Structure 1
């Protein structure tokens, strides 16, 4: 069977475990990591798939299938799956915004998203140009990872409590001199994601769950889980932070901005993998180090009952997938119940997903290539060890079997 090329993109949170760290070698940093021979467009930089990554392990399989992944943020990934963004437009690099995924056709083979499908997302797919031929969405969880708070204060070993995180991000505290134990003074600069981001969704979900209704936010202040950080704050970034807010694209851009010499005394949220790759300083939270997330010998254990079928996530509320499609098609959307606890001490964590189409995935060989890609996250014999701060999800065998059944039956 000839090798197949798979084209995808989206979430930046899982970039290091998915593609490795070669994207940090070019200047500017590369959005596109590929072994499929495609380019990022124009003079944009491009990187290979690093040895030891999940996608490298995938390509080392018997059929030597190739994969391309463009780091655009979860929102652009979902838009390309719906058809509102053509996947065959240029991925570009981190010096400019992406136009597409640099895919071979206008429709991607798969996307990555840290913000699981919502009613709005699923309805956008149903109303989009790809729904007639592609019918439904397949979504499965892949890995969990820690969201770190990168920082550029003069304090090397910054330690924050959850209460202090709430105070800083709600604007209740705006100067480091008011953050007990920080050892710093001066305005607190907040670097945030400007693009649609599952990392933003996971981080604002943590803020909503931890901070709302406490004395650690201003009276009446409420965080709203959202993949657009600006929309998660009442009145938006400018109202809450004023000139202290600094926008950046991608987790890569957030960490780069925090490290910039002009941005001393800044904090920014990003996956711990990106923070470690850029050798950025970061805060412990409640005494726990995000780099130690997932360093247990076994994967994260989630009960099979925590894996929902045919459900979407609207903020913190689980709802049925919309539309008039069959229940079997809707059940291809798998969602980890947000009430299910990830048993790990570090408190800010995210579960990331891959998504694709139920139908119209091409030849039998291409469909099998997709099944192999989705399936590698649950194949203990072929998947690699993960970098610091990440963990696989299948500590419970029934959870693993349930996802594998979805991959087998839903990708056609």
Structure 2
């Protein structure tokens, strides 16, 4: 009788553990993931607890194996992957756009920016809104002579990586002096945590400029500007222009690729895939095969049925080539060397 009770208890514990998953990382896709995971729980009965703590923290936590998966707007480098105790995999889940959002009382028309002007603002070379470089891009627009309060991320951020990756491609001075990364040695600016933190600085500070994921600008009712792409066109961020950034891009087998500063004439230039990162072999620590199966099911759903939630929340869906690569990667997951 006692053995039967213990066996039953073990089954209950295993079943319960498989009904929840944990993730942490990028704030860039947090609005999308919040919706996805709420719908997934309603449909599948599995809770997914995702903490929006920044891509850098998410990468750290997956290396330390304290979460089932990490969210990151930038893929981990070869050097970072070598620090993990086993093989990590990446799959893209959406394409998002990073926009220059600002607070300029009295300015109603969307401002135009070039990559060079954005780089010079974040280098501290352009200090006021009525600078001739900004005025030349926006003839006929009366811009107040406010000082520019530069808002940036203070945490390890994939949004920072995407923005700095773009600036490094359009400004040799930025590339040399600052470069690309989740965390930077910033020449200027006020730091804030998360996309929501930067949006908060912009919203509360007349004269502020910050880079945020599109949905955060929209949710906070913040104006944001168009950005000149490689073809010379000024493009406003939206699902279509963000999606165009990935058109014609060869997706590598591991899906780690940059799509900023796309050559596509209709593309928005500061766009990026956002990724989920997880271990190929799921047998580690006290993980059960049931947990591994639930993670595989979740990832499969996010890259198929879950894509229905991308566009309503201002993210672009995965292009077919990226979705197909993601499917193959998910299907390579194992548990103790055995295919899941």
TM-score interval, smaller chain:
0.7 to 0.9
Residue from 316, 331, 335 that aligns with 1:391: 316
Contact 2:99 2:270 in 1 (8 A): yes
Equivalent pairs counted in the alignment come to: 302
1:280 counterpart = 2:222: yes
Contact 1:306 1:340 in 2 (8 A): no
Find the counterpart in structure 1 of residue 191 from structure 2.
247
Find the counterpart in structure 2 of residue 4 from structure 1.
19
TM-score normalised according to structure 2 size: 0.80
Find the counterpart in structure 2 of residue 403 from structure 1.
326
Find the counterpart in structure 2 of residue 121 from structure 1.
80
Find the counterpart in structure 2 of residue 203 from structure 1.
163
| Offset at residue 303 of structure 1 (A) | 5.7
Find the counterpart in structure 2 of residue 79 from structure 1.
60
CA distance in 1 between counterparts of 2:235 and 2:307 reads: 31
| Offset at residue 381 of structure 1 (A) | 7.6
* Change over 3 Å in CA distance of 1:337–1:248 after alignment to 2: closer
For residue 186 of structure 1, give the secondary structure of its aligned residue in structure 2.
Answer: coil
Q: Greater helix share, 1 or 2?
A: 2
* Change over 3 Å in CA distance of 1:300–1:285 after alignment to 2: closer
* Change over 3 Å in CA distance of 1:303–1:369 after alignment to 2: farther
Residue from 88, 95, 112 that aligns with 1:137: 88
| Offset at residue 136 of structure 1 (A) | 1.8
1:368 counterpart = 2:293: yes
CA distance in 2 between counterparts of 1:304 and 1:347 reads: 14
1:355 counterpart = 2:277: yes
CA distance in 2 between counterparts of 1:285 and 1:409 reads: 39
Q: Which has the larger radius of gyration?
A: 2
| Offset at residue 139 of structure 1 (A) | 1.3
CA distance in 2 between counterparts of 1:381 and 1:201 reads: 26
1:199-246 CA-partner distances (Å, limit 9, x unpaired): 000000000111226xxx7xx964411111x33xxxxx3xx33xxx21
| Offset at residue 387 of structure 1 (A) | 3.1
1:176-217 CA-partner distances (Å, limit 9, x unpaired): 12120361212211001010000000000000111226xxx7
Find the counterpart in structure 2 of residue 160 from structure 1.
112
For residue 190 of structure 2, give the secondary structure of its aligned residue in structure 1.
Answer: strand
1:264 counterpart = 2:206: yes
1:127-160 CA-partner distances (Å, limit 9, x unpaired): xxxx2xxx22121111111101110112232412
Find the counterpart in structure 2 of residue 225 from structure 1.
180
Structure 2, unaligned runs of 5 or more = 1-14, 229-233, 336-340
Range moving further from structure 2, 4-13 or 343-352 = 343-352
CA RMSD in angstroms, aligned pairs only:
2.8
| Offset at residue 282 of structure 1 (A) | 1.7
Structure 1, unaligned runs of 5 or more = 20-52, 84-105, 126-130, 232-236, 310-333
CA distance in 2 between counterparts of 1:307 and 1:381 reads: 23
CA distance in 1 between counterparts of 2:299 and 2:157 reads: 21
Range moving further from structure 2, 373-382 or 173-182 = 373-382
* Change over 3 Å in CA distance of 1:400–1:302 after alignment to 2: farther
Contact 1:142 1:393 in 2 (8 A): yes
CA distance in 1 between counterparts of 2:307 and 2:162 reads: 28
